[in-house]
Amino acid sequence: MTTQKSADDRIALLQGTLDLLILKTLLLAPCHGQGIARSIQRQSEEVFFVDHGSLYLALQRLEDKKWIAAKWGVSENNRKARYYSLTAKGREQLQEKASEWERLTRAMGLILNGTGPGTEEA
Amino acid sequence: MRLFRRKRNAADFAEEIKAHLALEADELASEGLSEDEARRNAKAEFGSVSVAAERFRMRGRAHWADDLIRDLRYGLRGLAKNPGFTAAAILTLALAIGANTTIFSLLDQALLQALPVEDPGQLVVFSFAGSHPGHWHSEGGSTPGHVHEFSYPMYRDLRDRNTVLTGLIAAAEQDAGVTWNNRAENVSTEMVSGNYFQTLGVRPALGRLFVAGDETVKGANPLAVLSFDYWKTHLGEAPVVGQTLLVNGTPFTVVGVAAPGFHSMVWGRRPAVYVPATMEAVVEPERDYVNDRQSYWIDTMGRLRPGVTREQAAAALNSLFLALRKTEFTGLHDQSDKARNEFIGAAHLNVDDGASGFSPLRDDMRTPLTIVMGMVLLVVGMAIVNVASLLLVRAATRVREFSVRYALGATRGQIVRQLLAEGVLLGVAGAALGLLLAPRALDLLIHWMSGPSADHSAFSATLDWRVLGFTIAATLVASLLFSLAPAAQFWNPRLADALKQQMGTGVGGSLRFRRTCVALQIGFSMLLIVAAGLFVKTIDNLRNVDPGFATDRLLSFDLAPEMAGYAPARIAPVEQQALDAIAALPGVRAVGATNDRDLASEDREGDVLVSGYTSKPDEEFDVELPWVSNGYLQTLGVPLLAGRLFDGHDTAASGRVAIVNESFAKHFFGSIGAALGHHVSRPQQDGTDATIVGVVRDVKHESVRDAAMPTCYVLFTQAVKPTELTFYVRTWQAPQAAANEVRAAIAGIDAKLVVGDLSTMTEDIDNNLLSERTIALLAAVFGILATVLAGVGLYGILAYSTAQRTREIGIRMALGARRTAVVGLIVREVLLLAGGAVAVTVPLAMLGSRAVRSQLFGVSIADPGVYGAGIAVILLVAAIAGLVPARRAASINPTEALRNE
């Protein structure tokens, strides 16, 4: 029971960021899972490595929340693929999550780049 | 819930992964890798496909199904770890389910079920109030004001002249000699009205059933319908329609076979053959009732016309009944005002609900069955309390286990689910075992109750599935509820408290509940032990009653020459011939015969005129009037008090003689000696005048329960008409040994003669005590069961509460308490609890016993022996149950106990 819980915790940690990245990727155009993974890796200059298992889980979760919608289609090179697209609700969520993220990174930046409380008072 | 919300299945997901891998491979290939390499890389990059699939499945699928299997597996493991607890709980549930279902199946058949006929709700049963001078033949079930037997002419008049019934039917039962393929058999025959089957809505299985036209005038309808069971088991499903069989020597044409499952309008009757009521004189050669308005013998039932209520029918039929009674009265011998008032003034026709029919047997079974059902309910109550307390004990010991689990992140739901799974497992196992037990128990019980005549049992060994379902559901719910008890702790947010509390001394509400459980169990078992004691003592008393004659080495059988087609004039001679033939057998000490079977709940009563005795005004005094052979009193060994017994000089040709018993002599003459020489006769019957030549001691006749009636014995050879006889054969050796010789001797006279009901007197007495024996047996079984259950429950609870008090005991011992004092502490607590429960139960038991008083014999409802034994058993069980945990407590090492904290 304990191990399962810690696994859940790890997923929860990734969850917020991965969801946001997926939503952002889909903002431009509908895409399939493999495309989303590639796109995230490429755009982050290969910093992010997307765990594919987590990706599909995240996609499923977002689909369940009705932030994205899915339907089967055909890729440029004639492969069958499941295409995901952003819903209106997803778009709202993206804006919200993105600004949340910006606030978070700004705050993190302030702390990490600042000189600390002791110096500020002195 | 989740199960139904799912939109995607695993196959669709697998498809997507496949697509992903293909796309990835394409891309890698375009970057210059070989196709194989690309695919391998794609796969490696993705990670394990199966892991992803598994994670998908975990997310989306209804994993409660998987969880359930896991919970059940955990549950099984948990139960297997505690085999003692598991076995006790399952066995308890099974016994409760089995016993309740078995007994209720009988109760339901006897008391609750409607007749298996069309629309039983429309049926009504008739009985009447008012006098019934003349012959009255009853199988029981009638009480003053509710006489169920009507005269046949009255029945016909009521049937033909009413406007409120669609049908009025009649039936009476009698054993008759039925010969098929030259094989004679004594079988139950029902004499029925022509509209019997039609009105009940019974269909033929073969041929046709009777119609109104089959019942015309006396002796004109020699037709027979067979019951399905008889046709199947005795006639081998032969093509019988149109064939002839003999009823008491008279040929009857078989017209058909009744549908399976139907027996009679009277519950408990199992007729083999149905004949029209107009053939009564053939079935009962001793009687001739059909055209006699003063012979009351046939039971009736009616079907209400649609739209007519029972009250309307009663009103209409009563005016008709009264008019008919008025006409009947003019034909009576006694025209006094008193007789008129009794015959017409008091006359009333009762119209009662008849959905389940009229049944003397049911009336007999009602009290015993209700008592047994009461006992079963006590057992079921005990079982539920027992399982509840067992589960609570188990739950309490697991509070810690669940607290830890909860702390480690298991959700409440998960814990509750697992507890439920264990409850379900227990319930299902108990139910399965109960299901296995119930049909066997039912079979056994029916066999036991019906004795040697198993195929005539009024009960069928069919389980009542509704009851079974109900009991299973009830026990399941109970076990589920109680299995949830530990979960209740988690609704209390102060978990740490729960953890702490479990190490405490076990004080608090749950302890009170457990004490209540123990007290209830002891109370229940006390009640059952007392019941068992009372009934066992009753049967013991009944068995040891001295009937006034020796009952050992006595063989009895029936001989009815009229059933073999003997003409009336030839009956008494062939019976005498049989007596002589048996007397000549080497193993036979003496032989005698009577037409009034002893100790078999039979009687032949009537009033007598006694010379030298003037009856008091309005005196109606019936005496027992057996017709016997001249060796009967000697064979039974009835002691002579004055005068002489019948002997070989008393023949059909010699002067009529009578012998009376002590009660008779004292009632009519004041003393024994004064009776000799007086004359007795039956009023209005010529040729019955006889001289009293002897006085014998009173002996039990109807049953060992009943005191002897005033009795006047006369000789069957000097009687006004022939009769069937029961023979008593006193043997030198075991009576069974003479059985074959007796059969051979009778067959030697005439192969057509049927030796019926050959049995020993001890068997007869046992059969006569059937309901008492059944109650005693079941009471004893339930009593033992209750004691065992109480012992197990008590032990479980004590073991637990002692374990809870480890610290307290440790402290006591650290402070210098001796081990014996610790044992004493626990045992005293148990005995106090048991004593308190017993003290409360004893008055209740006495109150309850009042309800069963009618079934007791020779034992007071406050019998000190029974109660003393009951209390002793309870205290003994309590002491034993308490001693084991007490010894364990005494072996506690104080330092360890304290460190335990």
H or E element in which residue B168 lies: strand B165-180
CATH code for the structural domain at A2-121:
1.10.10.10
Cβ atoms B626, B596 nearer than 8 A: yes
DSSP characters for A53-101? HHHHHHHHHHHHTTSEEEEEEE-TTS-EEEEEEE-HHHHHHHHHHHHHH
Q: Do B13 and A51 touch (CB under 8 A)?
A: no
Q: With CA atoms as reference, report the closest residue to B194 among B173, B180, B208.
A: B208
Chain B residues whose CB is inside 8 A of the A9 CB are none
pLDDT at B728 over 90: yes
**How many other C-beta atoms can be found within 10 angstroms of the C-beta atom of residue B375?**
26
ipTM of the complex: 0.75
Chain B residues whose CB is inside 8 A of the A34 CB are 19-20, 23-24, 27
Q: Do A79 and B8 touch (CB under 8 A)?
A: no
Cβ atoms B753, B566 nearer than 8 A: no
Phi, psi of A98 (to 5 degrees): -65, -45
Cβ atoms B654, B741 nearer than 8 A: no
User: Is B264 or A2 the better-scoring residue by pLDDT?
Assistant: B264
Query: What pLDDT score does B212 carry?
Result: 92
- Measured in angstroms, the CA of A98 and the nearest CA of chain B are apart by 26
Query: What pLDDT score does B891 carry?
Result: 79
- Of the candidates A38, A53, A75, which has its C-beta nearest B55's C-beta? A53
Give B730's strand partners: B554, B590
Query: What pLDDT score does B53 carry?
Result: 60
pLDDT at B772 over 70: yes
Identify the sign of the CA torsion B158, B160, B163, B164: positive
Average pLDDT over chain B reads 83
- Measured in angstroms, the CA of A73 and the nearest CA of chain B are apart by 11
- Measured in angstroms, the CA of A70 and the nearest CA of chain B are apart by 11
Query: What pLDDT score does B504 carry?
Result: 44
Q: Which of A66, A82, A84 to mutate to test the interface with B (most CBs of B within 10 A)?
A: A82
The predicted model scores a pTM of: 0.67
Closest chain B residue by Cα to residue A11: B55
Cβ atoms B158, B313 nearer than 8 A: no
Q: Do B23 and A79 touch (CB under 8 A)?
A: yes
Q: Do B26 and A79 touch (CB under 8 A)?
A: yes
Give the Å distances, CA to CA, from B380 to B233, B436, B532, B878: 39, 17, 16, 20
Amino acid, single-letter form, for residue B548: G
pLDDT at B507 over 60: no
- Measured in angstroms, the CA of A56 and the nearest CA of chain B are apart by 8
Query: What pLDDT score does B665 carry?
Result: 92
Q: Do A79 and B19 touch (CB under 8 A)?
A: yes
pLDDT average, residue stretch B684-693: 86
Q: Which of B6, B9, B23, B403 to mutate to test the interface with A (most CBs of A within 10 A)?
A: B23
- Measured in angstroms, the CA of B13 and the nearest CA of chain A are apart by 9
- Measured in angstroms, the CA of A32 and the nearest CA of chain B are apart by 8
From the number of C-beta atoms within 10 Å of its C-beta (0-12, 13-18, 19+), residue A116 rates as exposed
Cβ atoms B716, B576 nearer than 8 A: no
pLDDT average, residue stretch B841-867: 85
Q: Give the strand pairing for B250-258 and A80-86.
A: unpaired
pLDDT average, residue stretch B403-411: 69
Q: Do A33 and B410 touch (CB under 8 A)?
A: no
Query: What pLDDT score does B205 carry?
Result: 93
- Band (pLDDT 50/70/90 cuts) for residue A11 is very low
Query: What pLDDT score does B696 carry?
Result: 95
pLDDT at B195 over 80: yes
Q: Do A38 and B27 touch (CB under 8 A)?
A: yes
- Of the candidates A5, A60, A82, which has its C-beta nearest B19's C-beta? A82
Q: Do A56 and B22 touch (CB under 8 A)?
A: no
Q: Do B24 and A51 touch (CB under 8 A)?
A: no
User: Is B116 or B577 the better-scoring residue by pLDDT?
Assistant: B577
What is the domain partition of chain A in residue ranges? Answer: 2-121
- Measured in angstroms, the CA of B892 and the nearest CA of chain A are apart by 36
Over residues B508-541, the pLDDT tens digits come to: 456 677 778 778 888 888 888 888 899 889 888 8
Over residues B305-335, the pLDDT tens digits come to: 999 999 999 999 999 999 999 999 988 888 8
Over residues A75-98, the pLDDT tens digits come to: 887 888 889 999 999 999 889 888
Three-state SS at B708: coil
pLDDT at B285 over 80: no
pLDDT average, residue stretch A56-71: 86
pLDDT average, residue stretch B855-870: 86
- Of the candidates B13, B19, B47, which has its C-beta nearest A51's C-beta? B47
Contact A85/B at CB under 8 A = no
Place of tokens 């109760």: B107
- Measured in angstroms, the CA of B50 and the nearest CA of chain A are apart by 10
- Band (pLDDT 50/70/90 cuts) for residue B452 is low
pLDDT at B668 over 80: yes
Q: Do B51 and A77 touch (CB under 8 A)?
A: no
Closest chain A residue by Cα to residue B26: A77
Q: Do B23 and A60 touch (CB under 8 A)?
A: no
Query: What pLDDT score does B216 carry?
Result: 92
User: Is B397 or B854 the better-scoring residue by pLDDT?
Assistant: B854
pLDDT at B168 over 90: yes
Over residues B119-142, the pLDDT tens digits come to: 888 999 999 999 888 788 887 778
- Of the candidates B20, B59, B60, which has its C-beta nearest A34's C-beta? B20
- Of the candidates B27, B46, B409, which has its C-beta nearest A5's C-beta? B409
Closest chain A residue by Cα to residue B411: A1
* Alpha carbon distance B838, B212 (integer Å): 64
Q: Do A2 and B409 touch (CB under 8 A)?
A: yes
Q: Which of B46, B67, B412 to mutate to test the interface with A (most CBs of A within 10 A)?
A: B46
Chain A residues whose CB is inside 8 A of the B409 CB are 1-2, 5
